[in-house]
Chains A and B, each alone.
Chain A
Amino acid sequence: MAGIEAFGAYVPLYRMKREDIARAWGGASQGGERAVANFDEDSVTMAVAAAVDCLKGIDRDTVDAVYFATTTSPYREKLGATIIAYALDLKREVATNDFTDCLRAGSMALRAALDAVKAGSAKRVLVVAADTRIGAPRSEFEQSFGDGAAAFLVGTKDLAATVDATYSHADDIMDFWRTRPEDLIKTGDDRLVSHDFIKTSEDRFVITEGYLRNVQEGVSKLLEKCEIRPRDITKAVFYAPDARRHKEIVPSLGFDPKTQVQESMFDKMGNTGCAFAPMLLVAALESAKPGDKIVFATYGDGCDAMLVRATEHVADGKGKRGIQGFLASKRYISNYEKYMTHRSLVPTESQRRPPLVSSVPVLWRDRKWILSLNASRCKSCGRAFFPPQRICLYCHSKDEFDYVRLSDRKGKVFTFNVDNLALTQDAPEIFCRVHLEGDVGFYCRMTDRDPDKVAIDMPVEMTFRKFHEAGGYNNYFWKCMPIR
């Protein structure tokens, strides 16, 4: 039987109070706070973080496929799932697939993964949903959206949760859409960024004929199919555009709002797009007891609904930090203007510095260590080096080494600086040498940090980030960050 073996999530460190956005535009605050990706994060890097959370203790060579769901892929053409597979250092014989262009992409990917495992074409499929949707400045979406990611390992062994039934229907309606980029902005590092902010129709129409009708239909058809009454459900997990709609839809679905509904976390992280309902499912599984029955419903050009049942292994399936862990670890972005700069929403002055450079052949040649973060360990003397070295610094043996993955190691800061001169979107930049478990030195940047609190011996972990866009494409690599 196909189901969920493990689940994880990722919420970026930074949060922005909605009142800060309201202050900027003079409008009303929707209350609470939303999660915001750091300047060096995008949907791909957040998907990697959620996948790492989910794959805790799991042999990565057993992953047969990666399904990446997002409405905010960094590329219009080029797979995100393949970048994710490389960052996770998965085997080469891995099937990769992106599910895009719809708020339902997360559940579509999950359903496709279940089908693949059921059909026997894959034993284990990693499903990752991540979104960094940008609401136009001053729009209600700017406040209601949040950034985040969820991950599931779909398989057959020691299932944490089974998926007992699925239901889908399609409905073509102009509710939310994007066509082509508009609004060119020239940023401080001389990039021309085009934004294609989410368009929508008259909201009462969209809510009534789109969201409410589809989710009501999906949930009731699923329950009908399973011959289950709403009151037999332990928890209802469903997409909603915002806190108000999340509350409003409950009575019509037949659930008790006090006991049967998974908290929306709207006031803590916001609507994280196609990752939103999957993240709520992860949260529900984190607190589920064996036997709990969960209804999971998503919306977008129709509805996907699933009946998920927690097994006796549900606690073992939990990610390293999960939703609760990541929500508890946070820092506030210092101001709204910084958020605007991070998301390239305002033109800023170019820095009088040489342009950043990149090289496609170098990125390709070095992908084993740039993306997969492998060091070399000398077979004769055992010393490890990052980046990998053909000739050992200690014993001079040539081409005698094994690759060792560093991305899942913790470390400590050995030395550091706080560099105000370094070219970065968020000065000062911290450069440091960290000593990782297994006696490997890693010279790297530090992200998600408080510059005033960086110190020798500070514990750190690795995180996959976007460095820059030189060459007109994303240059990804790893940084260290204080342990969250």
Chain B
Amino acid sequence: MNPAAIRDKVAIIGMGCTKFGELWEQSLDDMIIDATYEAFDDAGVGADDIEAAWVGTQMSSFTGATLAMPLKLKNMPITRVENACGTGQDTLRAASFAVACGAYDMVLVVGVEKLKDSGLSGLPDPFNHPVYGQGATAPGRWALGATRYFAANKLSPQEGKGVLAKIAVKNHYNGSMHPKAHFQRAITKEQAINAPIIAFPLGLFDCCPTTDGAAAAIVCRADLAKKYRDDYVTVKGFGVAIGPGWGKEDFDYNYEFLPETIAAGKQAYAAAGITDPRKDLSLAEIHDCFTIAELMEYEALGFSEMGHAKDDVEAGTFELKGRLPVNSDGGLKSFGHPVGASGIRMCYEIYKQLQGKAQLPARQLKNPKMGLAMAQGGHPGFLMPIIAILGLPA
């Protein structure tokens, strides 16, 4: 096994991302077209330059025809990818390996999700046993982790909520400066703490919204990238760790850490040649479906010492001007979570930051070199984190 086999073999030469939000006027096809054509324009290529494509969606559509139909791609290899919240990263991963092995020179990657056409609130529950686990919700499942994490780290629920509120405040502040975010409004710590409880101890501002969106990337062989642009970025590596999903039932799992995410981080760091993520990474987009998830991920990904994420939150380590900005675009908290699109949207932020093209000067990071994008399906005890690391060419 060679975890570094893919490092710098593949380049991203163009990306696109729709506005995220409740896109009542846009269909799934509209979002795919808009994200793809922004990526085409960004790369200076068109549909005729593409040799294969991958589309990631968790529940909005099936088969490669999801792309072929709206984009009128004719008789091309197109595959639909699904791997829960990490679908976006896994779609990019499938495309990257195909390009790295030389099978294709240039391919299209699209992540998309249309959640707001159901007429219902929240996500449908994909878990469909008639009684076991029936009716459980995503915030409820993360609340099980929060209850235990607080207890293990000697935080009262009120103290714990104070730490989580700082994460919500940070991400909403970052989102307030991003023109494509679903929510573009800063909030106060008091607002976060006093918001209605969704699943105790998590309140409204600890949870991300239900959102529509799409994002796209043009991936090509790294040795051909220069033909298209100078400021391309390269894929440094991936990490994928799918757990057996037995945390809820496993007597030994204590909900106080995220073992799958630790494993995925180790894979990704080995692939990208990272020894100290806190130093080597310039930014990270991680999975803040709930603020407790972001807090526990700081530790799982080695950004904070185990049990000390709270200290880094208090010190502002992960703020825009901190040592390792996390979710500089506002994260899922501001962008929402159109499941299949989120991973590519995270990559879009890293791509733009690495190019120095963040939409507003106020949110542009100084000389970033490498960024991590991690989306994580499931919940404590049942996780499927997928990481992509992008950086400036070697």
Contact = CB atoms under 8 A, between A and B. Distances in A.
Interface of A: 352-354, 356-359, 362-363, 366, 370, 383-387, 393, 414-424, 428-429, 431-433, 435, 439-443, 445, 456, 467-468, 470-471, 475-477
B198 A387 contact: no
A442 B133 CA distance: 11
Given A414-B148, A415-B144, A432-B144, A475 B131 contact: yes
A357 B128 contact: yes
B3 interface: no
Given A352-B120, A431-B136, A441 B250 contact: yes
B121 interface: yes
A419 B249 contact: no
B124 A422 contact: no
Contacts of B136: 419, 422, 431
A363 B130 contact: yes
Contacts of B246: 385, 393
B120 A443 contact: no
Contact of B200 (A357, A363, A385, A417): A417
A441 B197 contact: no
Nearest to B249: A441
A418 B197 contact: yes
Interface string B210-245: 000000000000000000000000000000000010
Contacts of A415: 144-145, 147-148, 255
Interface in B236-277: 244, 246, 248-251, 254-255
A435 B255 CA distance: 13
Contacts of A435: 251
Given A441-B251, A443-B249, 10 more contacts: A362-B129, A386-B249, A393-B250, A417-B147, A417-B201, A428-B199, A433-B144, A433-B255, A443-B133, A477-B131
A431 B138 CA distance: 12
Nearest to B140: A419
Contact of B130 (A357, A414, A443): A357
Interface of B: 118-122, 124-125, 128-137, 139-141, 143-148, 151, 196-202, 244, 246, 248-251, 254-255
A441 B244 CA distance: 16
Most buried by A among B130, B137, B148, B199: B130
A290 to B, nearest CB: 45
B120 A467 contact: no
Contacts of A386: 249
Contact of A433 (B121, B122, B248): B248
Contacts of A358: 130
A433 B199 CA distance: 15
Nearest to B129: A362
Contacts of A419: 136-137, 139-140, 143, 198-200
Contacts of A354: 118, 120, 124-125
Contacts of B255: 414-415, 433
Nearest to B134: A467
B120 A424 contact: no
A359 B134 CA distance: 13
Q: Which 7 A-B pairs have the closest CB atoms?
A: A417-B143, A418-B200, A477-B131, A419-B140, A443-B248, A419-B199, A358-B130
A434 to B, nearest CB: 11
A423 B135 CA distance: 6
Given A352-B121, A433-B248, A416 B135 contact: no
A154 B272 CA distance: 72
9 contacts: A352-B121, A415-B145, A416-B147, A419-B143, A420-B197, A421-B122, A467-B130, A470-B130, A475-B130
B144 A477 contact: no
Contacts of B202: 417
Nearest to B120: A352
Most buried by B among A385, A419, A423: A419
Contact of A353 (B121, B196, B197, B248): B121
Contacts of B141: 417, 431
A421 B131 contact: no
A193 B171 CA distance: 47
Given A352-B120, A354-B124, A439-B251, A370 B199 contact: no
A476 B136 CA distance: 16
B151 A456 contact: yes
B130 A456 contact: no
Contacts of A477: 131-132
B140 A431 contact: yes
A357 B198 CA distance: 24
A270 B131 CA distance: 32
Contacts of B146: 417
A68 B148 CA distance: 43
A77 to B, nearest CB: 21
Nearest to A468: B134
Nearest to B199: A419
A95 B253 CA distance: 42
A469 to B, nearest CB: 11
Contacts of A416: 144, 147
B198 A421 contact: yes
A353 B140 contact: no
A475 B130 CA distance: 7
A358 B132 CA distance: 11
Given A415-B147, A433-B144, A467-B134, A383 B199 contact: no
B23 to A, nearest CB: 19
B36 to A, nearest CB: 30
A440 to B, nearest CB: 7
A359 B132 CA distance: 12
Contact of A418 (B118, B132, B199, B254): B199
A126 to B, nearest CB: 25
Contacts of B201: 417
Contacts of A456: 147-148, 151
A362 B134 CA distance: 13
A385 B124 CA distance: 28
